[in-house]
């Protein structure tokens, strides 16, 4: 239904899980997909699997906290029509075994560098080309932690994800007349969680299941399409109804 033929999409953190699902979905709609990951072997594995299905996909390994590497990658493989900021640190490793009052600068540096600074760097790299061409789609994969908060120990993660939501709203206001939209997808609990906790978490979700990479890919496909051209500055909660207030 949605056609991305002729568009080039850069998906960060696409070497596994949600990012790989987004890459599969956008490529199936005709997009040329640039598969980014911090680990080159993961990016190459996904890109090769996509190419084997007859789509155009290339591995593009870099660290989203390295602005120079991002600029060089975009200059070599652009122009970028669709940017999906998916790279982030989350899950169990995002939780600190202490409250906010007990945290220090080192506790905040990692979550902020990846979840906020990484989004900033990638947006900076692709925006000039989007403005020049008068078209662009920026989609940031955030979290319910950025919209609602999810408990003690998640303050750095929540703030980083919440900051990325604010950035998308700001870009939507600044670049709407340039033909560029900027939106966020705030994820609930995904099916990549540990099996021993999945059953308990599923009970709290009204639709009765965890989220899948294909769920996220479908939302990103719509936001990347021409049909969503009047949608910008929005945060779509993709959570099975678990965060409705």
First to last CA, the chain: 32
Active-site residue, 157 included? yes
Quickly state the pLDDT bin for 233 (edges 50, 70, 90): very high
CA 17, CA 86: separation in Å to the nearest integer?
10
**pLDDT recorded at residue 93:** 58
Quickly state the pLDDT bin for 20 (edges 50, 70, 90): very high
The sign one gets for the Cα dihedral 26, 28, 74, 117 is positive
Q: Is 207 exposed, middle or buried (0-12, 13-18, 19+ CB in 10 A)?
A: exposed
- Of the residues 157, 185, 186, 189, only one is catalytic, namely 157
Residue 8 has pLDDT above 90, yes or no: yes
Domains plus CATH for the chain? 8-237 (3.40.50.720)
**C-alpha distance from residue 162 to each of 145, 159, 180, 227, 235 (Å):** 8, 5, 21, 27, 11
Residues 6+ apart with CB under 8 A from 25: 214, 217, 218, 220, 221
**pLDDT recorded at residue 44:** 97
Per-residue burial over 219-245, b = 16 or more CB atoms within 10 Å of its CB, e = otherwise: bbbbbbbeebeeebbbbbbbbbebbee
**pLDDT recorded at residue 98:** 84
Q: Summarize pLDDT for 67-97 with one digit per residue, the tens.
A: 999 999 999 998 999 999 999 986 555 667 7
């Amino acid at each position: 239904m949605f056609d991305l033929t002729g568009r080039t999409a850069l998906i960060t953190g696409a070497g596994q899980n949600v990012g790989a699902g987004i890459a599969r979905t956008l490529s199936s709609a005709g997009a040329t997909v640039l598969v980014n990951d911090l680990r080159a072997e993961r990016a190459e594995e996904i890109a090769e699997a996509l190419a084997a299905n007859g789509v155009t996909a290339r591995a593009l390994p870099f660290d989203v906290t390295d602005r120079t590497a991002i600029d060089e990658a975009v200059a070599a493989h652009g122009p970028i029509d669709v940017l999906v900021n998916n790279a982030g640190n989350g899950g169990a490793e995002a939780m600190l075994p202490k409250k906010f009052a007990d945290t220090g600068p080192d506790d905040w540096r990692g979550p902020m560098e990846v979840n906020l600074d990484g989004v900033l760097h990638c947006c900076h790299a692709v925006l000039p080309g989007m403005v020049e061409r008068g078209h662009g789609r920026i989609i940031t994969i955030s979290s319910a932690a950025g919209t609602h908060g999810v408990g003690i120990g998640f303050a750095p993660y929540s703030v980083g994800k919440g900051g990325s939501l604010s950035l998308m709203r700001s870009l939507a206001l600044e670049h709407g007349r340039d033909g560029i939209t900027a939106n966020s997808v705030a994820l609930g609990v995904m099916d990549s969680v540990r099996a021993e906790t999945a059953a308990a978490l599923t009970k709290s979700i009204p639709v009765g299941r965890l989220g899948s990479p294909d769920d996220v890919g479908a939302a990103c496909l719509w936001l990347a399409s021409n049909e969503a051209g009047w949608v910008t500055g929005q945060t779509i909660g993709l959570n099975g109804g678990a965060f409705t207030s």
